[in-house]
Each structure stands twice: as structure tokens, then as C-alpha cells.
Amino acid sequence: MSLYGMMRTGVSGMQGQSNRLGTVADNIANANTNGYKKSMTEFSTLVIASGEGSYSSGGVVSNVRSAVSRQGVIQYTPSATDLALYGNGFFVVQDTAGQPFLTRAGSFVPDDEGRLVNAAGFYLMGYSFENGAPTPVGNSFAGLEPIQVLQQALTAIPTTFGRFSANLPAGADVVAAADLPSTNAPGAAFTNKTSLVTYDSLGGEVLLDIYFTKTATNEWEVAVYNQADGAATTGFPYATGPLATQTLTFDGTSGKLATGSANDIQIPIPGGETLDLDFSALSQLSAGYIPGDANVNGSAASAMKEAKIDGDGTVYAQYENGTLQELYRIPLANVRSPDELNVESGNVFSQSTSSGDVFLGFAGEGGFGSIRAGALEASNVDIGEELTAMIESQRSYTANSKVFQTGSELMDILVNLKR
């Protein structure tokens, strides 16, 4: 029995080292595969009960694991659609059949339809901004769609939102009610004026004249006109009345908008949509009129130039006129035990019974890592380690084969005793 056990043990040893050499071969072959995670062969003993005065040799059991949670080196590239993950998480991709997978391989390029696809043919998935700012579905891939970044037609984005900040002079004179800009009277008086460029639904520029006029202590009137309707020289009277008016009240102590005061104004853009202009950053201090930020969304008719991806996973379309439009937001996925994921062809992973359930979130939130555009995560294979492991396995395989050969020779002696 001991000779049979000896040979069986030698076979198990050769089998284990064969598995190890297989993982070494895979690791070396994929040393330059972006996002590849090295495989490792772990060994455990196989013990067979022995009787008194005798020993039954067992052997070795090999288990293959992947170092999925081990970070690879970040290498920067000239492509804006190359994506690397630093920290926890995986990109969600799907194959041509619509089956979702997880991956760290971020070498994405647009295909003929503009969908971002990696070297293995998997499409990057994301949430669209078409219906507003997206939120992740924590326990499902529902709502995800292939990210598409090519757009052939011209696009015009109407203005719908903006912010304006400035300091209104606390010491300004009060303007009489009969002379306020909202009356649209010839020679109407005002304290300060600014103009903003906005866009209608066809991408045409609409220039707005915004008048700030002090009507009482700590009280100001805002009146907005379409500049195209103004008189040739003075502005007043405009061909039509104000597009919108608003009253702002300031706290005389802090200089900020008082509690209960309006902090925005709704302006219907001629030929466009309604602009919600945020005034919450206005102040009334003892200084002159000092305009601050004046930002509105929207753009003129323009072709898409390229796609840009932010660190939080937001995918933007950058147009030739320099404006940006949010298209998608890339979610990240993870499991409780990434090293227990099933390794699939194409450098992707799928959920296993030991990995735990997949959950989704956004980069930089809830323990997820960050996304770096214009970069790739290299393989976490160390060639030096693999060559060392290959030599060790080769020697161990040879030694185990010698054990089997010795057992075979002893078995021949035993059989030939009868002769």
C-alpha cells in the first residue's frame, strides 16, 4: 500500500506543479495585457489516515486564485477615452449579446456607431443624462446603456440655467418708482446694468439686458429686457416690456440676501426656454458695483469636437465652440470578495457564489476608487517573480517525477520477487 501511495503522491505533486506552471505561463503571456490580474496556484496538504506502524502518504491539492484586488501600475496615454481605475471597483461592460461583466481593462475606443468598446470587444456601460442627473441602481445593472460619444449632426443647446454674482453698492441712491426700468419709460433710471448672452432653441444668441435698481433701503428691483428690442442709443424705451422682474431684499447687517427674499429670477428666453438665473451669491456691501461670476448653460449650433471624461466618471461632449454637454456618467461596480470572482475570457470577471453580490456606485464615493482618463492600468504581473516561480516549479516537478519513478522501480522489484 505504501508503494502505491508513494506513486500516487508523486502524481499529485506533478499535477500541482503542472497547474502552477500553467498559471505562470498565462501570467507571462499577459504581462502586457491592460488590466490583467495575475493568477496564483495555492497548495494545501492531502492527509490520508495511517494505521499504527504504517504510513499512508497523501499528497497535495492545488487551488488557483487571481490577484484581482492587487493594483496595477497606472500608465498615461494620449487617448482621452483610455480609462484607468485607481483603487476599488470595476467598469461595467457588456458583450454583443447584452450580458454584463466587470473589468479593469479600460482601453476604450469608439466603434463605427460611436460606442466605446475595449480591445476584447466589450462595450462600456453608463447612465445617460437625458432625463437629468443619474443615480446608480445599487444592486442591479438596470438603467445602464452603452456609452456613445460620436455625434454627426449639429447640436444647439437652449439656455435653461445660470448663475450671476455681484456686489450691489449699499450706498447707492434710491430711484423713484416712476423712473424704474420696469416702467419702460423713456429715460428710465437704473443703478447698475449687466448683459448676458443666452441661446434660444435653435442656437441663436439672445442678449439680455439686466438692470439692478435700488428702490428702498436694502431693497432692489431686477428688470430683464431683450436687448434686440431696445432703442438704438439709450435702450429705453424697449419695443416690448420686461421679460421678467424680481424684487430682492438684503440683510442690512450681513449684506447677504435676507431670509425670505427671492434668490433667483425666471426669464423666458425669446424663441427658447425659461432661464432660471440664480442670484443667491449677490451681496450688498459698502463698495462699488463689482460683477462676479456670470455663467449660463446652452450653446450655439455647433458640431461635436471630442469626448472628455472627468475624474468622477462624467462623460462630456465638447463642441467646436468650446461648450461642454453632459452625456453619461460611468458607474463603478464591486463585490465583497473581488479575488473570488470568476475569471472569464476577454479579461472580464463575473459574479461567483463566493464573491458576494455586485453593488454599484460612482467614483470617489462609498469606498470606490477614482477614474483617470487618458491612462491605463497595466497588468499586475511581475516578470521576475514569474520566472523564479517557473524555475521552482520545474525543479519540483522533476523531483516529484523522480519519486514516481522510484516507486515504479520498487514495484517492479516487488512483482519480480515471485520469479
How far are the Cα atoms of 205, 208, 221, 244 from residue 238, in angstroms, in the given order? Answer: 18, 12, 17, 13
**pLDDT tops 70 at residue 5:** yes
Query: 263-273 as b/e, with b when 16 or more CB fall inside 10 Å?
Result: ebbebebeebb
Q: Name which residue leads in pLDDT, 168 or 52.
A: 168
What's the rounded Cα separation, in Å, for the pair 229 and 241? 9
Rounded-to-integer distance, Cα 24 and Cα 39, Å: 8
H or E segment to which residue 82 belongs: none
Taking alpha carbons only, the member of 248, 245, 242 closest to residue 170 is 248
C-alpha cell at 311: 475624474
Domain 156-301 fold: Tick-borne Encephalitis virus Glycoprotein; domain 1 (2.60.98)
Residue 1 has pLDDT above 70, yes or no: no
- 357-393 pLDDT, tens digit per residue, is 999 999 988 889 999 999 999 999 999 999 999 999 9
Cβ burial of 144 (10 Å; 0-12, 13-18, 19+) is: buried
User: Per-residue pLDDT tens for 8-48?
Assistant: 888 888 898 899 999 999 999 999 999 999 998 888 888 77
pLDDT of residue 317: 85
Which pLDDT belongs to residue 87? 93
Beta bridge partners of 146: 125
Task: Determine the average pLDDT of the residues in 60-64.
Answer: 86
Cα of first residue to Cα of last residue in the chain, in angstroms, is: 21
Name residues whose C-beta falls within 8 Å of residue 16's C-beta, 6 or more positions apart in sequence.
41, 43, 60, 61, 62
**Does pLDDT of 89 surpass 60?**
yes
The boundaries of every CATH 2.60.98.20 domain in the chain are 156-301
Which pLDDT belongs to residue 198?
96
Provide the sign of the torsion angle of the four alpha carbons 72, 78, 90, 36, taken in this order. Answer: negative
Rounded to whole angstroms, the Cα distance separating 352 from 93 reads 17
220 pLDDT higher than 90: yes
